[in-house]
């Protein structure tokens, strides 16, 4: 990896790890560039963890991985006071959350109490321990993976918690062509080599992505899309103002990823589903294809006024 | 599942429509019965409650039951099914039921359009300026309701902007409205839809039974207004004749049957041959009676007016809308006076044996062969007796009314005196008849018109004297001269029942000069409205139309209508077309249109929700170089309008 790396080159490097998932990789990267947290929703074994670790490695972020289980305690995430026998006093032990990138595997297996410990840290970007407020790393990002909710022994994340993830991305099974290729190489697990990249690069990219221009006209288009989800008969809950804000940053990050310093309508549309799908609740609870519903709603909104 | 965001479940959105209907239906209440508006108001309250509770729409079977109940109620409320009232009542009942079941946006439109029909119906009964302003308010509410109903959510526009929208709608409709007003045929029979008998409660009736006129003294509503062109007669000469009652039938006085004809006749020459003293115009409000009130002797050249042999005038149809009539007031001409034998006998009939004491009195007072002296003697006798003028006399139901009144109760008002006086005259062999009409009126000093109210209703008598013809004799004037000298307002106000049926009338505050002036000013304004707008018909219509289009031919009227439509709609359509054209577009919209047009060359019609890049991707039929130019154009568009400036 040469020193003059661009976000796009990071994406390309990731594509060699997970074959045929160019779009999902870009979305994940854009999500992190937008300073948001990422939710990977998928069945086991399609490369969620690989993607998360690859992102950490390529962006040069320190990372820790927490496997969520039903007996996981909040203190095992954020840490807590520990008695030191030699000094005879309590010291605060910082949990695995004090790192740059947290990979929270199968987040919906833990109890709601444990989930909320993580999710609170996500929105506040600091942790209160023993009356002390400890700030988290400026690069602090959570990539949570989640198995589809209807599996047994899971606790579905409530809407208020889901709203804190900027994007939800679903990798899905690879294309047959790539899956065969995968088998042929006998899963010579390509682990990402630690890049030379320093995490400061990510911070400066985030700063630049935030400076991407979005005209008032496009902000209006974004607003019309958001309000369309609130008006739609098919949806019981539409996109929140927080969702709208994150949508805007995601669109800016998407434009930045593609080497532009201004947002075009396509940017807003490209990230639309990833930003909105996990935030909206259908009116009927079964047999709803959320992707199709949202696509239909967005298609009705005129792009140019 | 009902649409909980719908117009009928949001009080703020519901208000204008319901407000319009409430105003209009209560405006109709005086003409109809009070039951229908009350039921409607109950339904409104119920709707508001349902909206507040976000309750579900009414179930189908309940609607059916309500329709049945409503239909039955209408059937019972209106005994005559073919009257104007019953038709309007049916409309009101329909609107009420519609409001009951309304749930969709479509229903809101139906309600507002029915509201416009109700507005027209209001004018069938009342055309005063105030009513017009109220209807205008209702229409503004309705137009706002239409606007509200066409939106998906609560209108966030400020009130001024809403008013502007309503104003614009009215403005667009104005030219064609004025043209229709000018050219719409004023055909009398069209308006003369039968009216329920009991609705025609105002004014005189064609039967005088003691007690009938009494209610009139309590009603301040305007019967007619008069404008004199030239000298005004003295106040105590203002006897507005309407109808003569000469047929005595079972204790009551009625109009002779031969006077009920509707063939064009002519009044006796004595009334029409005199020289013209002045002109005057009477603006009559809808009385639902055919009688025209005028001074005697007057002539009119108005078409459709039927002159009768008793010197009164009538229209062919009952007057159901405001009407203006011009008369010439003449001097009496005494040449060739003659009462036909037929009429002589008719005006003499009175049963001799009913009132023995009255017959006795007549025998004492009459001077045979000298009717003039007899009249004077009888009037002197009235003066000598302690008669009391009151609007609430003790009721006399016996057939010997004349005896009971003259010698026992001795209290009553105009019709009691007229009734007994005519009876005495006939017993003395002098032809006599009762005249029903109005006496006096109030002079408005602002515009010099005389306003005659229902409480000015009066009954007096006429006696036939050979050389003088039918002479007016008012026995009330002998008994209660102040009633004649001062008019009804000043002479009756001390009475307890004065204006008891008009509790809100400003006449109650007659003592305060500024209120009087205010009342006169309002009245003058109303008069202008009535005389210029509401009485625009026949003559005025043809005169005005002639001045606009020269000759009145169907073709020219059509051309006037067409021209109005063109002048209104063409600029409107031009504006709509131009608004979408390059002239009114921003440079961005023009560029976008340009790229869209080029996309269409490759068979790609960009959808509303599609970006330019997506549309270009679909243009796969294009050659590589064409695609490149398209992409370049899109890139340029994006750089121009989205990049940092």
Tell the CATH topology of A211-305: Helicase, Ruva Protein; domain 3 (1.10.8)
User: Cβ distance B109 to B146 under 8 Å?
Assistant: yes
Cα gap A228→A239, rounded to integer Å:
9
Q: Is B322 helix (H, G, I), strand (E, B) or coil?
A: coil
User: DSSP characters for A43-65?
Assistant: -TTSSHHHHHHHHHHHTT--EEE
Cα gap B240→B292, rounded to integer Å:
9
pLDDT at residue A166 greater than cutoff 70: yes
Tell me what pLDDT residue B507 has.
64
Q: How do strand B469-473 and strand B222-229 relate by DSSP bridges?
A: unpaired
Cα gap B611→B618, rounded to integer Å:
11
Category of B336 on φ-ψ map: left (φ > 0), alpha (ψ -120 to 50) or beta: left
Q: Pick the most confident of A49-53, A185-189, B109-113.
A: B109-113
Residue B589 Cα, gap to closest chain A Cα (Å):
8
Range name among A239-248, B203-212, B313-322, B491-500 with the lowest pLDDT average: B491-500
Tell me what pLDDT residue A195 has.
58
Instruction: For residue B186, name the pLDDT band (cuts at 50, 70, 90).
Output: low
Supply φ then ψ for residue A77, to 5 degrees: -105, -55
Cβ pair B643:A303 closer than 8 A: no
Q: Find, in chain B, the residue whose alpha carbon is nearest to that of A266.
A: B611
pLDDT at residue B503 greater than cutoff 70: no
pLDDT at residue B199 greater than cutoff 80: no
Tell me what pLDDT residue B194 has.
46
User: Cβ distance B223 to B453 under 8 Å?
Assistant: yes
Q: What is the mean pLDDT of residues A216-244?
A: 92
Cβ pair B611:A300 closer than 8 A: no
Cβ pair B644:A264 closer than 8 A: no
Cβ pair B641:A217 closer than 8 A: yes
Reference A246, options A216, A276, A214; nearest CA is A276
Superfamily of structural domain A1-199: P-loop containing nucleotide triphosphate hydrolases (3.40.50.300)
Q: Is residue B366 part of a domain?
A: no
Q: How far are the Cα atoms of B596, B617, B634 from residue B612, in angstroms, in the given order?
A: 8, 9, 7
User: Cβ distance A171 to A42 under 8 Å?
Assistant: yes
pLDDT at residue B335 greater than cutoff 80: no
Tell me what pLDDT residue B204 has.
61
* B614 contacts in chain A (CB < 8 Å): 266, 269
Q: Is B306 helix (H, G, I), strand (E, B) or coil?
A: strand
Given B126, B153, B180, the domain boundary residue is B153
State yes or no: cis peptide before B297, omega within 30 of 0.
Answer: yes
User: DSSP characters for B591-609?
Assistant: HHHHHHHHHHHTT----TT
Asked if residue B624 and residue B548 are part of one domain, the reply reads: no
CB proximity list for B428: less than 8 A, separation 6 or greater? B362, B365, B366, B371, B374, B378
Is residue B452 within a helix (H) or strand (E), and if so which, with residue range? Answer: strand B449-453
Tell me what pLDDT residue A150 has.
64
Q: Is B572 helix (H, G, I), strand (E, B) or coil?
A: helix
Q: Is residue B422 part of a domain?
A: no
Tell me what pLDDT residue B258 has.
76
User: Cβ distance B361 to B380 under 8 Å?
Assistant: no
pLDDT at residue B319 greater than cutoff 90: no
Range name among B199-208, B337-346, B476-485, B577-586 with the lowest pLDDT average: B199-208
Q: Is residue B418 part of a domain?
A: no
Q: What percent of chain B has pLDDT over 90?
A: 12
CB proximity list for B270: less than 8 A, separation 6 or greater? B297, B332, B333, B334, B335, B336, B337, B469
Asked if residue B339 and residue B243 are part of one domain, the reply reads: yes
Q: What percent of chain A has pLDDT over 70?
A: 94
Instruction: For residue A210, name the pLDDT band (cuts at 50, 70, 90).
Output: very high
pLDDT tens per residue, range B13-45: 888 999 999 999 999 988 887 888 999 999 999
pLDDT tens per residue, range A225-238: 999 999 888 888 89
Cβ pair A263:B611 closer than 8 A: no
Tell me what pLDDT residue B111 has.
94
Supply φ then ψ for residue B516, to 5 degrees: -60, -45
Instruction: For residue B197, name the pLDDT band (cuts at 50, 70, 90).
Output: very low
User: Cβ distance B311 to B297 under 8 Å?
Assistant: yes
Asked if residue B216 and residue B105 are part of one domain, the reply reads: no
Cβ pair B642:A303 closer than 8 A: no
Asked if residue B551 and residue B486 are part of one domain, the reply reads: no
Tokens of B518: 């205010």
Cα gap B553→B365, rounded to integer Å:
67
User: Cβ distance A266 to A181 under 8 Å?
Assistant: no
pTM (predicted TM-score) = 0.50
Tell me what pLDDT residue A275 has.
95
Asked if residue B105 and residue B209 are part of one domain, the reply reads: no
Tell me what pLDDT residue B315 has.
84
User: Cβ distance B351 to B223 under 8 Å?
Assistant: no
pLDDT at residue B217 greater than cutoff 80: no
Q: Is residue B603 part of a domain?
A: yes
Cβ pair B609:A266 closer than 8 A: no
Cα gap B183→B541, rounded to integer Å:
8
Q: What is the mean pLDDT of residues A163-178?
A: 88
Asked if residue B479 and residue B341 are part of one domain, the reply reads: yes
User: Cβ distance A145 to A104 under 8 Å?
Assistant: yes
Domain count, chain B: 4
The count of other CB atoms within 10 Å of the CB of residue B614 is 16
Q: Find, in chain B, the residue whose alpha carbon is nearest to that of A303.
A: B609
Cα gap A107→A143, rounded to integer Å:
10
Strand ranges for chain A from DSSP E: 37-41, 63-67, 79-84, 89-94, 101-105, 126-129, 132-135, 141-146, 165-169, 235-237, 281-282
The tally of CA atoms less than 13 A away on the side-chain side of residue B601 is 10
Q: What is the mean pLDDT of residues B606-632?
A: 83
Asked if residue B547 and residue B517 are part of one domain, the reply reads: no
pLDDT tens per residue, range A58-81: 888 888 889 988 888 888 888 888
The mean predicted confidence, pLDDT, of chain B is 81
Nearest to B609 among A218, A261, A303 (CB): A303
User: Cβ distance B589 to B637 under 8 Å?
Assistant: no
Asked if residue B64 and residue B25 are part of one domain, the reply reads: yes
Asked if residue B300 and residue B208 are part of one domain, the reply reads: yes
Range name among A17-31, B330-344, B433-447 with the lowest pLDDT average: B330-344
State the angle between helix axes of A48-58 and A7-15 in degrees (0 to 180), rounded to the nearest 10.
140
Cα gap B299→B289, rounded to integer Å:
20
- What would the 3-class secondary structure string for B74-141 be? HHHHCCCCCCHHHHHHHHHHHHHHHHHHCCCHHHHHHHHHHHHHHHHHHHHHCCCHHHHHHHHHHHHH
Tell me what pLDDT residue B189 has.
41
The tally of CA atoms less than 13 A away on the side-chain side of residue B475 is 37
Higher per-residue pLDDT: B58 or B378: B378
C-alpha dihedral sign at B597, B600, B606, B607: positive
* A269 contacts in chain B (CB < 8 Å): 611, 614
Asked if residue B504 and residue B551 are part of one domain, the reply reads: no
Cα gap A303→A248, rounded to integer Å:
15
* A264 contacts in chain B (CB < 8 Å): 611, 613, 638, 642
Helices (H), B366-413: 371-384, 401-404
What residue numbers bound the domain in which B505 lies? 200-349+432-523
* A302 contacts in chain B (CB < 8 Å): 608-609
Cα gap B428→B424, rounded to integer Å:
6
Q: What is the mean pLDDT of residues B281-298?
A: 84
- Give the A-side interface with B, CB within 8 Å: 213-215, 217-218, 231, 261-266, 269, 298-304
Tell me what pLDDT residue B269 has.
66
Range name among B257-261, B515-519, B612-616 with the lowest pLDDT average: B257-261
Nearest to A304 among B153, B592, B644 (CB): B592
Asked if residue B143 and residue B226 are part of one domain, the reply reads: no
Tell me what pLDDT residue B4 has.
44
Residue A305 Cα, gap to closest chain B Cα (Å):
8
Residue span(s) of chain A under CATH 3.40.50.300 come to 1-199
Strand ranges for B285-351 from DSSP E: 291-292, 298-299, 305-307, 313-315, 323-330
Tell me what pLDDT residue A2 has.
44
Asked if residue B261 and residue B218 are part of one domain, the reply reads: yes
Q: How far are the Cα atoms of A117, A121, B26 from residue A95, in angstroms, in the given order?
A: 12, 12, 75
User: DSSP characters for B471-488?
Assistant: EEE-HHHHH-HHHHHHHH
The mean predicted confidence, pLDDT, of chain A is 86
Category of A158 on φ-ψ map: left (φ > 0), alpha (ψ -120 to 50) or beta: beta
Residue span(s) of chain A under CATH 1.10.8.80 come to 211-305
Given B124, B153, B182, the domain boundary residue is B153
Tell me what pLDDT residue A244 has.
95
pLDDT at residue B226 greater than cutoff 80: yes
CA A44 from chain centre, in angstroms, equals 17
Tell me what pLDDT residue A154 has.
77
CA B234 from chain centre, in angstroms, equals 30
Tell me what pLDDT residue A117 has.
86
Q: Is residue B416 part of a domain?
A: no
pLDDT at residue A7 greater than cutoff 50: yes
């Amino acid at each position: 990896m040469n020193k003059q790396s661009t976000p796009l080159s990071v994406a390309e490097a990731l594509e060699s790890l997970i074959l045929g998932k160019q779009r999902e990789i870009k979305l994940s990267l854009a999500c992190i560039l937008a300073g948001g947290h990422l939710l990977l929703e998928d069945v086991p074994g399609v490369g969620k963890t690989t993607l998360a670790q690859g992102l950490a490695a390529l962006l040069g972020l320190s990372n820790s991985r927490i496997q969520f289980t039903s007996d996981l305690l909040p203190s095992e995430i954020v840490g807590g006071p520990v008695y030191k026998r030699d000094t005879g006093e309590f010291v605060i032990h910082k949990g695995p959350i004090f790192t740059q990138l947290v990979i929270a595997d199968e987040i919906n297996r833990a109890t709601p109490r444990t989930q909320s410990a993580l999710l609170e840290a996500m929105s506040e970007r600091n942790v209160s321990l023993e009356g002390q407020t400890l700030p988290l790393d400026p690069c602090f990002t959570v990539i949570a993976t989640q198995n589809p909710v209807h599996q047994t022994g899971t606790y579905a994340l409530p809407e208020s918690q889901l709203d804190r993830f900027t994007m939800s991305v679903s990798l899905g099974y690879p294309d047959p062509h790539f899956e065969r290729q995968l088998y042929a190489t006998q899963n010579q697990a390509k682990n990402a080599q630690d890049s030379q990249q320093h995490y400061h690069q990510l911070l400066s990219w985030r700063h630049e992505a935030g400076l991407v221009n979005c005209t008032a006209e496009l902000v209006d288009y974004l607003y019309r899309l958001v309000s369309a989800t609130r008006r739609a008969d098919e949806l019981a809950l539409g996109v929140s103002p927080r969702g709208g804000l994150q949508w805007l940053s995601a669109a800016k990050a998407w434009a930045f990823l593609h080497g532009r310093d201004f947002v075009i309508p396509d940017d807003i549309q490209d990230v639309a589903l990833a930003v909105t799908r996990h935030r909206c609740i259908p009116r009927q609870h079964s047999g709803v294809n959320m992707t199709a519903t949202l696509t239909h709603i967005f298609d009705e909104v005129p792009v140019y006024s | 599942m009902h649409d909980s965001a719908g117009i009928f479940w949001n009080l703020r959105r519901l208000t204008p429509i319901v407000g319009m209907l409430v105003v209009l239906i209560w405006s109709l209440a005086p003409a109809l019965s009070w039951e229908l508006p009350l039921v409607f108001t109950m339904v409104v309250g119920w709707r508001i409650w349902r909206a507040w509770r976000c309750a579900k729409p009414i179930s189908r079977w309940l609607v059916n039951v309500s329709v049945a109940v409503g239909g039955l109620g209408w059937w019972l409320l209106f005994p005559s099914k073919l009257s104007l009232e019953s038709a309007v009542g049916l409309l009101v009942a329909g609107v009420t039921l519609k409001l009951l079941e309304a749930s969709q946006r479509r229903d809101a439109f139906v309600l507002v359009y029915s509201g416009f029909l109700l507005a027209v119906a209001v004018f069938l009964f009342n055309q005063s300026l105030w009513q017009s302003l109220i209807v205008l308010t209702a229409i503004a509410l309705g137009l706002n309701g239409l606007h509200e109903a066409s939106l998906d959510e609560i209108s966030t526009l400020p009130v001024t902007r809403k008013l502007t929208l309503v104003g614009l709608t009215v403005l667009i409709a104005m030219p064609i409205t004025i043209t229709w007003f000018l050219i719409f045929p004023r055909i009398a029979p069209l308006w003369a839809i039968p009216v329920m008998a009991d609705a025609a409660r105002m004014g005189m009736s064609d039967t005088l039974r003691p007690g009938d006129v009494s209610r009139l003294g309590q009603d301040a509503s305007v019967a007619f207004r008069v404008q004199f062109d030239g000298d005004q007669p003295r106040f105590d000469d203002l006897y507005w004749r309407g109808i003569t009652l000469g047929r005595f039938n079972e204790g009551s006085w009625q109009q002779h049957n031969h006077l009920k004809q509707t063939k064009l006749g002519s009044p006796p020459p004595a009334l029409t041959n005199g020289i013209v003293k002045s002109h005057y115009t009477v603006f009559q409000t809808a009385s639902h009676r055919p009688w025209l009130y005028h001074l005697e002797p007057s002539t009119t050249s108005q078409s459709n007016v039927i002159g009768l042999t008793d010197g009164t005038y009538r229209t062919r149809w009952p007057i159901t809308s405001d009407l203006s009539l011009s008369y010439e007031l003449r001097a009496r001409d005494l040449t060739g006076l003659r009462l036909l034998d037929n009429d002589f006998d008719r005006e003499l009939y009175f049963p001799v044996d009913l009132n023995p004491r009255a017959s006795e009195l007549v025998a004492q007072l009459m001077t045979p062969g000298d009717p003039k002296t007899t009249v004077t003697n009888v009037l002197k006798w009235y003066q000598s007796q302690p008669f009391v003028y009151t609007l609430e006399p003790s009721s006399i139901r016996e057939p010997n009314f004349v005896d009971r009144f003259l010698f026992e109760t001795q209290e009553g008002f105009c019709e009691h005196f007229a009734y007994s006086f005519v009876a005495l005259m006939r017993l003395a062999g002098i032809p006599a008849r009762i005249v029903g009409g109005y006496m006096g009126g109030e002079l408005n000093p602002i515009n010099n018109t005389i306003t005659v109210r229902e409480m000015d209703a009066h009954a007096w008598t006429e006696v036939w004297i050979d050389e003088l013809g039918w002479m007016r004799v008012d026995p009330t004037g002998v008994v209660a001269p102040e009633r004649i000298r001062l008019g009804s307002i000043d002479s009756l106000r001390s009475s307890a029942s004065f204006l008891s049926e008009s509790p809100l009338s400003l006449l109650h505050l007659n003592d305060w000069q500024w209120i009087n002036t205010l009342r006169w000013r309002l009245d003058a304004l109303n008069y202008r409205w009535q005389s210029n707008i509401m009485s625009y018909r026949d003559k005025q219509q043809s005169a005005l139309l002639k001045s606009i289009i020269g000759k009145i031919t169907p073709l020219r009227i059509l051309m006037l209508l067409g021209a109005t439509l063109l002048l209104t709609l063409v600029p409107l359509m031009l504006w709509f077309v131009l608004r979408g054209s390059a002239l009114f577009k921003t440079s961005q919209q023009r560029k976008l249109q340009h790229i869209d047009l080029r996309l269409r060359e490759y068979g790609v019609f960009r959808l509303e929700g599609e970006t330019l890049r997506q549309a270009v991707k679909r243009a796969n039929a294009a050659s590589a170089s064409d695609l490149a130019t398209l992409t370049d154009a899109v890139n340029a568009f994006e750089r121009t309008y989205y990049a940092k400036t």
